[in-house]
Amino acid sequence: MRGMRTLGLSLRPVRLEDAPLLHGIFLRSPGYFALIGMEPPTLEDVVQDLRTLEQDERRRAFLLFLEQVGPSGEGEMGEAVGYLDYKLHYPEAQDVTLSLLLIREDHQGRGLGRRALAHLVDHLTGMERLYAVVYGHNPRAKAFFQAQGFRHVKDGGPTLSWYVRPL
């Protein structure tokens, strides 16, 4: 679009009607699913997961949008470029566990994951620790979390690693 420039990142809670948008993010991230040894979920799988999300009072999920300024100078949401999914009070009452921070493959390497994580940390009041779970053999994700101040805590089997940082 003419006259648009990216400002940053906006996060919006995901809703059931966002299933096609989230499904599109997953389809544009085939490398992630290959790393964890899975096919990208079907639209029906995404709908079912979002229904499960609605039933879990501790789980939060957000779509990540590029924030843009239009020709009038007004801010507006751009395209959906990622997904953030975490659970409050897990594994302990003062903890938060980040189960997925996914940036669409065509937008990786631009600092969007770092900005999404910083936004999350800024909004986690009253919590003491933030855990991050890395699935599969994913050296880029492990390096990302270590660069953001996380330290490796334990492996939950050959395909699951836990990282933690204080808040």
CB 65 within 8 A of CB 80: yes
The pLDDT, as a whole number, for residue 73 is: 66
Supply the pTM of this predicted model: 0.89
pLDDT tens per residue, range 5-46: 445 889 999 999 999 999 999 999 999 999 888 999 999 999
Instruction: Tell me what pLDDT residue 106 has.
Output: 95
- Given a contact cutoff of 8 angstroms between Cβ atoms, the answer to whether 82 and 116 are in contact is yes
Displacement of CA 5 from its chain's centroid (Å): 23
Residue with tokens 């937008």: 107
CA pair distance 60, 77, nearest whole angstrom: 20
The pLDDT of residue 75 is 64
Domain limits, the chain:
5-166
Please report, as a single letter, which amino acid is at residue 50: L
Fold of 5-166: Aminopeptidase (3.40.630)
